[in-house]
């Protein structure tokens, strides 16, 4: 063989992240980013940060940020885990908690990274079909499993489960870890945080990328029992002790401290979502009930891929998934009112 | 069982990162941090960074930072990999490149994370003893293996190998990946970068935490053949596509662009190291020849642990490893001239 070292390499299908459009004058509704800036305190952190302190390692434990998160959610600091975006947190959780021969369960239509992590960590899995209208039926999870992952609300559908359904799931799955992925929870869904007191096998994963407008800083976190968090910490510290940089830690803290601003921008996104959903329905779209910062829509007369391409020509970027069951749907991130007006106008023109 | 989910958890010895002293008036020579601030351009990046852009995801590929690194090292952009500190890069490299049943090889005295990653990823390994005076004998690596990891210079010894020894190692190990961990290379050691053209199985890992004074920002990188880098990217993108945040990417770029400042602070650290080594020898210490930003020392008449404790009382923090073969040695990070003068004065008093 020409390159005899090749057989030592990990065989893996390259997972390539979606290309992001770089032009400046586009309307970017394709990555579920927040159209509003982060809390003003974040700009202040950057403006006043003493760069010379960057010569030192950050706090490996991220104690200050964990403390404000613990206060915000009414849990102990030892119940908070920090990661480099919620993908990092979820990847570590898959590694830490799905160590059995039984398949883990998650919906057939959901976050596309779940099967990637299962393949990477060689975790057996089974997908559980959503109903025709993309609802999760908790009863379908009543089977032997090595763990459950459920995003609430789900993506890319935007549909959410009420808290009693989550509790039902937990009651039926006390012998495995149940991960509730709450990346989009702040746009109208009830968080499962109140269930943490009663279920030590519950892990809640959240992110600052959506509702805190900090996708650029990579801050995710998990809330769970001290047992689960200690295991996550042990695995994380065996991988990389210093995942969170000093600036992300400080900026994240500033974002969490500004509860009023946070509520304000979440409400603005929700109001715009409802307004845009109504306008899309008026144009003939079927719009899934969304409790997230995006809308999942289909049109009875026009192909999704054609709409997607048309909008792209107009410099409006939304998301189209060429996947089974949803290949005639579009995911549209909720932007500002102005951005959504332009989207609606373009769609009106098209139709 | 009270908690029936416990058997799904990963069994792992918790690896706990060393506690960092938090007091302000200490002399911190225990973590191999740079005593000088990062390049002035880094402060400028922070001062002028538009926080509203943080609402968007960063460039998953880190193209701008990869481009300046590629220019700096005379390689292609596709030969550069970025990670969240060199620990992240090394962890991914272990996962990506040590996929055989044969043990990987590394020195018995070296970076303490290597066995941790082997345990985490279930990679068989064998340690190769250093000589009595902590030298690497390349001939000891002439045996069947699944890969080789060699830090150059080594830590905590500070001793370096010349480039022809590294090339010798590569010539004898064409059927596996050889990782040269160059975390401390900028303080006087010859980098193996010039060998990349001839050895496609060579991966060089460097960090901005030491010579670039950016430990707080978590920026590591690897240089290697396009084949190796593509595999690293595939594994990384299957784990977490967005590891590098927007500010780290911009600050790292500013640091690499200021070659003159970089050379300046490296030379200052080297000059202080030589001066401090001489002063320590005058006090009776045996000082290993160091080409890094730390000194590895022992005293024929005083126990290392006692010296360590004495200095700690004086608010001078150095590093003591209670490990076989080196439990009478101390690792002292090279600080400023002023810090080293205070260290020497305290030691003089003690002796």
Q: Nearest CA of chain A to the CA of B92: how many Å?
A: 9
Please tell me the predicted confidence (pLDDT) of residue A290: 98
Please tell me the predicted confidence (pLDDT) of residue A27: 96
B32 vs A292, B114, B158, B187, CA distance in Å? 45, 18, 11, 12
Contact between B307 and B347 under an 8 Å Cβ cutoff? The reply is yes
Contact flag A20-B177 (C-beta cutoff 8 Å): no
Contact flag B235-A60 (C-beta cutoff 8 Å): no
The pLDDT tens digits for A293-305 are: 999 999 999 999 9
What is the chain A residue with the closest CA to B99?
A: A8
Choose among A299, A122, A288, A270: nearest CA to A210. Answer: A270
The strand pairing partners of B28, in sequence order, are: B317
Share of chain A above pLDDT 90, in %: 93
Across B36-51, b (16+ Cβ under 10 Å) vs e yields bbbbebbbebbeebeb
Residue B171 at interface with chain A, using a CB cutoff of 8 Å: no
Please tell me the predicted confidence (pLDDT) of residue B15: 73
The pLDDT tens digits for A219-248 are: 999 999 999 999 999 999 999 999 999 999
Contacts of B84 in chain A (CB under 8 A): 84, 240, 243, 245
Mean pLDDT across chain B, nearest whole number? 96
Please tell me the predicted confidence (pLDDT) of residue A147: 97
Mean pLDDT over A97-106 rounds to 96
Contacts of A61 in chain B (CB under 8 A): 17
What is the chain B residue with the closest CA to A147?
A: B8
Contact flag B97-A9 (C-beta cutoff 8 Å): yes
Q: Nearest CA of chain A to the CA of B217: how many Å?
A: 5
Q: Nearest CA of chain A to the CA of B284: how many Å?
A: 31
Q: Nearest CA of chain A to the CA of B230: how many Å?
A: 8
B292 vs B17, B183, B184, CA distance in Å? 22, 9, 5
The pLDDT tens digits for A107-159 are: 999 999 999 999 999 999 999 999 999 999 999 999 999 999 999 999 999 99
Does this model's pTM top 0.95? Answer: yes
Residue A37 at interface with chain B, using a CB cutoff of 8 Å: yes
Please tell me the predicted confidence (pLDDT) of residue A317: 96
- The owner of tokens 């810090």 is B339
Contacts of A227 in chain B (CB under 8 A): 3, 6, 9
Contacts of B97 in chain A (CB under 8 A): 8-10
Please tell me the predicted confidence (pLDDT) of residue B231: 96
**Least confident range of A52-61, A82-91, A170-179, B12-21:** B12-21
Mean pLDDT over B135-162 rounds to 97
Q: How confident is the model at residue B37 (pLDDT cuts 50, 70, 90)?
A: very high
The pLDDT tens digits for B210-249 are: 999 999 999 999 999 999 999 999 999 999 999 999 999 9
- Kindly report the backbone phi and psi dihedral angles of residue B343, in degrees, each rounded to the nearest multiple of 5, phi listed first: -60, -50
Please tell me the predicted confidence (pLDDT) of residue B3: 87
Interface test with B, best of A7, A22, A27, A51 (most B CBs within 10 A): A51
- Kindly report the backbone phi and psi dihedral angles of residue B336, in degrees, each rounded to the nearest multiple of 5, phi listed first: -75, 165
The pLDDT tens digits for B153-181 are: 999 999 999 999 999 999 999 999 999 99
Which chain B residues in 285-344 lie under 8 Å from chain A, judged by CB atoms? none
What sections of A63-183 are H helices per DSSP? 63-73, 86-97, 113-121, 163-172
What is the chain B residue with the closest CA to A20?
A: B59
Q: Indicate if the pLDDT at residue B1 is higher than 60.
A: no
Please tell me the predicted confidence (pLDDT) of residue B274: 98
What residues contact residue B131 under an 8 Å CB cut-off, 6+ apart?
B137
How many CB pairs (< 8 A) connect A and B? 285
Contact flag B95-A10 (C-beta cutoff 8 Å): yes
The pLDDT tens digits for B59-75 are: 999 999 999 999 999 99
Please tell me the predicted confidence (pLDDT) of residue A286: 98
Q: Indicate if the pLDDT at residue A1 is higher than 70.
A: no
Across B81-99, b (16+ Cβ under 10 Å) vs e yields bbbbbbbbbbbbbbbbbbb
Mean pLDDT over B101-122 rounds to 96
Please tell me the predicted confidence (pLDDT) of residue B16: 73
End-to-end, the C-alpha distance of chain B in Å comes to 58
Distance CA B93, CA B99 (A): 10
B329 vs B129, B318, B344, CA distance in Å? 17, 11, 16
Q: How confident is the model at residue A12 (pLDDT cuts 50, 70, 90)?
A: confident
Q: Indicate if the pLDDT at residue A101 is higher than 70.
A: yes
What is the chain A residue with the closest CA to B170?
A: A5
Contact flag A55-B214 (C-beta cutoff 8 Å): yes
Please tell me the predicted confidence (pLDDT) of residue A134: 97
Residue A59 at interface with chain B, using a CB cutoff of 8 Å: yes
Residue A171 at interface with chain B, using a CB cutoff of 8 Å: no
Mean pLDDT over B260-272 rounds to 98
A89 vs A194, A219, B119, B151, B240, CA distance in Å? 20, 9, 20, 29, 9
Distance CA B154, CA B177 (A): 18
Distance CA A109, CA A136 (A): 10
Tell me, rounded to whole angstroms, the distance of Cα A235 from its chain centroid. Answer: 21
The pLDDT tens digits for B84-106 are: 999 999 999 999 999 999 999 99
Contact between A215 and A184 under an 8 Å Cβ cutoff? The reply is no
Q: How confident is the model at residue A13 (pLDDT cuts 50, 70, 90)?
A: confident
Contact between A141 and A176 under an 8 Å Cβ cutoff? The reply is no
Residue A112 at interface with chain B, using a CB cutoff of 8 Å: no
What residues contact residue A123 under an 8 Å CB cut-off, 6+ apart?
A94, A98, A104, A117, A146
Distance CA B26, CA B36 (A): 16
Q: Indicate if the pLDDT at residue B55 is higher than 60.
A: yes
Q: How confident is the model at residue B17 (pLDDT cuts 50, 70, 90)?
A: confident
Residue B272 CB-half CA count within 13 A: 26
Contact between A258 and A241 under an 8 Å Cβ cutoff? The reply is no
Which chain B residues in 203-262 lie under 8 Å from chain A, judged by CB atoms? 209, 213-218, 227-228, 230-231, 233-235, 237-248, 251
Of B9, B20, B177, the CB nearest to A231: B9
Q: Nearest CA of chain B to the CA of A78: how many Å?
A: 14
Contact flag A57-B230 (C-beta cutoff 8 Å): no
Neighbours of B132 (CB within 10 A): 7
Contact flag A54-B87 (C-beta cutoff 8 Å): no
Please tell me the predicted confidence (pLDDT) of residue A107: 98
Please tell me the predicted confidence (pLDDT) of residue A217: 97
Please tell me the predicted confidence (pLDDT) of residue A23: 77
Q: How confident is the model at residue B2 (pLDDT cuts 50, 70, 90)?
A: confident
Contact flag A31-B56 (C-beta cutoff 8 Å): yes
Of A8, A59, A60, the CB nearest to B98: A8
The pLDDT tens digits for B178-201 are: 999 999 999 999 999 999 999 999
Contacts of B95 in chain A (CB under 8 A): 10
Please tell me the predicted confidence (pLDDT) of residue A24: 79
Contacts of A200 in chain B (CB under 8 A): 3, 5
Share of chain B above pLDDT 90, in %: 93
The per-residue DSSP string of B3-37 comes to SGGGGGSPP-PPP-PPPPP--SS-EE-SS---SSP
Question: Which ipTM score applies to this complex?
Answer: 0.96
Contact flag A54-B216 (C-beta cutoff 8 Å): yes
Contact between A276 and A290 under an 8 Å Cβ cutoff? The reply is no
Q: How confident is the model at residue B14 (pLDDT cuts 50, 70, 90)?
A: confident
Residue A283 at interface with chain B, using a CB cutoff of 8 Å: no
Residue A87 at interface with chain B, using a CB cutoff of 8 Å: yes
Q: Nearest CA of chain B to the CA of A5: how many Å?
A: 4
Q: How confident is the model at residue A20 (pLDDT cuts 50, 70, 90)?
A: confident
């Amino acid at each position: 063989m020409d390159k005899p070292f090749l057989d030592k390499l990990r065989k893996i299908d390259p997972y390539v992240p979606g290309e992001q459009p770089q032009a400046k004058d586009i309307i970017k509704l394709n990555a579920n980013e927040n159209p509003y800036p982060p809390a003003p305190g974040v700009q202040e952190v950057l403006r006043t940060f003493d760069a010379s302190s960057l010569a030192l390692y950050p706090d490996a434990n991220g104690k200050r940020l964990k403390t404000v998160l613990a206060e915000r959610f009414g849990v102990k600091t030892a119940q908070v885990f920090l990661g480099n975006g919620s993908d990092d947190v979820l990847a570590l959780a898959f590694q830490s908690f799905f160590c059995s021969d039984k398949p883990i369960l998650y919906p057939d239509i959901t976050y596309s990274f779940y099967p990637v992590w299962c393949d990477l960590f060689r975790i057996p899995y089974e997908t559980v079909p959503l109903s025709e209208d993309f609802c999760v039926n908790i009863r379908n999870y009543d089977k032997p499993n090595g763990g459950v992952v459920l995003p609430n609300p789900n993506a890319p559908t935007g549909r959410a489960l009420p808290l009693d359904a989550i509790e039902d799931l937990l009651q039926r799955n006390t012998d495995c870890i149940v991960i509730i992925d709450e990346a989009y929870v702040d746009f109208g869904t009830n968080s499962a945080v109140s269930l943490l007191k009663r279920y030590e096998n519950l892990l809640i994963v959240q992110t600052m990328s959506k509702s805190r407008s900090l996708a650029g800083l990579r801050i995710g976190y998990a809330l769970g029992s001290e047992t689960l968090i200690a295991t996550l910490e042990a695995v994380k510290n065996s991988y990389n002790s210093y995942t969170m940089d000093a600036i992300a830690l400080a900026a994240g803290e500033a974002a969490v401290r500004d509860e009023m601003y946070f509520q304000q921008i979440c409400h603005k996104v929700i109001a715009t979502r409802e307004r845009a959903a109504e306008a899309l329905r008026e144009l003939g779209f079927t719009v899934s009930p969304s409790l997230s910062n995006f809308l999942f829509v289909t049109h009875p007369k026009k192909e999704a891929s054609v709409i997607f391409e048309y909008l792209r020509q107009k410099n409006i970027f939304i998301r189209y998934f060429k996947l089974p069951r949803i290949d005639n749907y579009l995911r549209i991130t909720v932007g500002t009112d102005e951005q959504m007006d332009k989207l609606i106008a373009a769609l009106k023109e098209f139709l």
